[in-house]
Amino acid sequence: MDKKKEKEKKPENIENTSNNTLTRKRLLILMAVFILIAMIIAGYTGYIQFVWANELRVKAYEQQNRDRTIKAERGTIYDSSGNVLAISVSVDTISVSPIEVRKNKSITVEEVAQELSSILELDYENVLNKLNMDNHYQLIASKVERSTSDLLKAFIKEHKVSGIYIHQDSKRYYPFGSLAAHVIGFTGDDNQGLYGLELSLDNYLRGTDGKILTELDVAGTELPFAFESRIEAVDGYDVITTINTDIQKIAENVVKQAIEDNKAEGGAVCIVSDCKTSEILAMVSEPGMDLNNPRALPEGYTIDGWTGLRKSDVDLLYSTVWRNKAIMDTYEPGSTFKSLTTAMALEEDIVQQDTMVDDFPVTVYGATIHCWAKQYPHGKETFLQAVYNSCNPVFVKVSHLIGIKRFYEYIESFGFRDPSGIELMGEGQSIFHSEPTKLDMSVASFGQRFQITPIQMVAAYNAIANGGYLIKPSLTDAIADKQGNIIYDFEPQVVRQVISEETSDEMRKILQGVVSEGGGKNAYVDGYRIAGKTGTSETTVEGVYVSSFIGFAPADNPVITVLLIVFNPQGDSYYGSQVAAPYAKLIFEQALEELSVEKQGTAGKEKTPVYVPNLNGYNVEKAAKKIKSYGLNYEIEGSTAGEDVTIMYQFPESGTVIAKDGVIILYTYVPENKKTVKMPYLAGKDKSYVVKALKDLGLNINSDGDGECIGVQYPAGTYVEKGTIVNITFRFTDYPD
């Protein structure tokens, strides 16, 4: 072949064609040159393949087809009441045909480069280099806001510039930023789902891109219209989630407060679920991320050259702010698991609420298990009291009666062995002893030495609350097309019935008692009948605890289940009753109000705060009457003799919010020095004592919680103005869980 080619190329060279020997020599030289070229090419191949190949391929395609993809619009993600959680907004891609641009007569290539770089905020030299390329396609900028590309359009129109192309594209936008970040997730540069529902529901959301195929001739000019063929894009479906944005906000705010107050170094998790359907109304995992900038460097880290794209950067993101601890991590549930043991025992008819039991120590394989109240055990008590008192030995003895086989069958039945099946990827795997011994079961009966995920626990408590049905937790309510037609309507999926309606009824009453009378008192909300349990467990790292509360309300007809877990609290306490229960209470209170669940009885009414009226200029008699009509009390400083004595100063001042039954100090003169009182020592004192002590001193109280005083705004011994509203925190501290 080569020989023949050579001959053809040089047909006039008579000298060579007639000399065979010479031809052979030339051939050898040629071969050597070929080999050399081949070696050089081989050296470059790797580089071209891994670095340039894609770029070259795209360019070749673009050159032939001029970037005529019709982008499918990605579906919108909504919350349960139609608020937009994720939406695609129109942006533009700017490209040029350098050859076309240089054909412009009215404007120089430098001027075009200048304008492009200034409007798009790009490096001038870089843009100019692209404009000087010898081809028909150069990408200048992508994801350009519409307002910016409008400026470019105006420039193109004004100067009649050809060769600059603006193509419509889209960008994902998350109106609530960091809200429900781990649930919603985010997309990549090509709008492909990378995380959260954006990833797991990508098939619904993505749609299918269309194409306009227009072939170009050799000079890069579009061939006549007849050659164009068009494949329309199919837009993605919209997703209607079960997330309730208002409840999500409530949960996130409370979780942040719990982390701050308890110096929780491991963050926190909260799940709010509909008891009857296992639909998730809110899911919080802190720390979180801003979905509009998910690759930002996590708070508290300093890392050189951070891009959020390098493998090490992504690894850090996955282990911190991207990590959805509500489904990915496992934890030891501690005493919150006693509800499950109780449900098993009642279902198996091993004990009744009034069965007499005792919490005396029990020894299994040489290990002795005591009640937490080791010094003064609760002794003989009913099973119900043992649950209220959270007596470990009672649960151990009950588990022995259930037996290993049945006990672990229930664990499986409650869903602790399998992933919950929620529509998110990366669910953690629960951990149980593979061949559990009697001791393993004994310890498991009060929630220790095994690991489950938070979402599994919520599904199990829903079963306790809803009549016994384990229902697959879900985040998706429906899938709809762009016209709003429902394509898929997801119904709650019952996995199995775990316990009977009767056991569920009993459990609701028992767990309500735990909150109103037992160890869960700090979660008590007057009128909302919360049922639940606190839990505290130590991790494998000494001094690192997990504190939690899980419960549902209202107990007689449960609407929501709330799980709150605080990881590694380093504040005054690490007990679930102190660290988690008071915050779960806040979530219940606000979420149930948001859901318009009415409080029972007269709960809360007498506590309604009032605005202090303006009393300045009133005479004493009139002022007193007015104060009484507000349900408030008063004390007078100064003389009240004479009819024309009027109020010159009052404290608290008008407009201040004050608890009903509060006191207002009225002065019949303009005080140079306001009356003060000395703060008494209140730490550890009972609420009723504290309320009376402050009232006697002429002080007002703004109280948080019930039980014993654990925090006062002003230290004992300091002087405060009479009438001051003092913030005081109360908590029940008699149960360690």
Residues binding Zn ion (CB under 5 A): 359, 371, 378, 389, 391
d(CA 145, CA 154): 15
Least CB distance from residue 388 to Zn ion, whole Å?
A: 10
The H helix count followed by the E strand count for the chain is 24, 31
Beta carbon nearer to Zn ion, 326 or 369: 369
DSSP states along 465-484: HTTSEEE--BSEEEEE-TT-
Query: Which two three-digit tokens encode residue 679?
Result: 């703060």
- Which residues does 557 contact at the CB level (< 8 Å), separation at least 6? none
Beta carbon nearer to Zn ion, 386 or 579: 386
- Which residues does 504 contact at the CB level (< 8 Å), separation at least 6? 343, 463, 464, 465, 466, 467, 468
Strand intervals (E) in 123-185: 138-145, 164-173
Q: Exactly one of 335, 339, 474, 577 is catalytic; which is it? A: 335
Residue reference for tokens 């022995």 = 400
Least CB distance from residue 363 to Zn ion, whole Å?
A: 16
Least CB distance from residue 373 to Zn ion, whole Å?
A: 5
Partners of 279 in the β-ladder: 474
Between helix 338-347 and helix 404-413 the angle, nearest 10°, is 110
Beta carbon nearer to Zn ion, 371 or 384: 371
Under 8 Å between Cβ of 524 and 585: yes
- Which residues does 588 contact at the CB level (< 8 Å), separation at least 6? 523, 525, 528, 530, 551, 553, 560, 562
Beta carbon nearer to Zn ion, 201 or 387: 387
Residue reference for tokens 């588990």 = 399
d(CA 502, CA 133): 79
335: annotated active-site residue: yes
Beta carbon nearer to Zn ion, 510 or 659: 510
Beta carbon nearer to Zn ion, 210 or 736: 736
Beta strands at 494-497 and 486-489: parallel, antiparallel or unpaired: unpaired
Least CB distance from residue 598 to Zn ion, whole Å?
A: 36
C-alpha dihedral, 383 to 384 to 385 to 386, nearest 10°: 50
Beta strands at 663-667 and 649-651: parallel, antiparallel or unpaired: antiparallel
Beta carbon nearer to Zn ion, 175 or 379: 379
Least CB distance from residue 734 to Zn ion, whole Å?
A: 12
Least CB distance from residue 380 to Zn ion, whole Å?
A: 11
Q: Which residues are catalytic?
A: 335
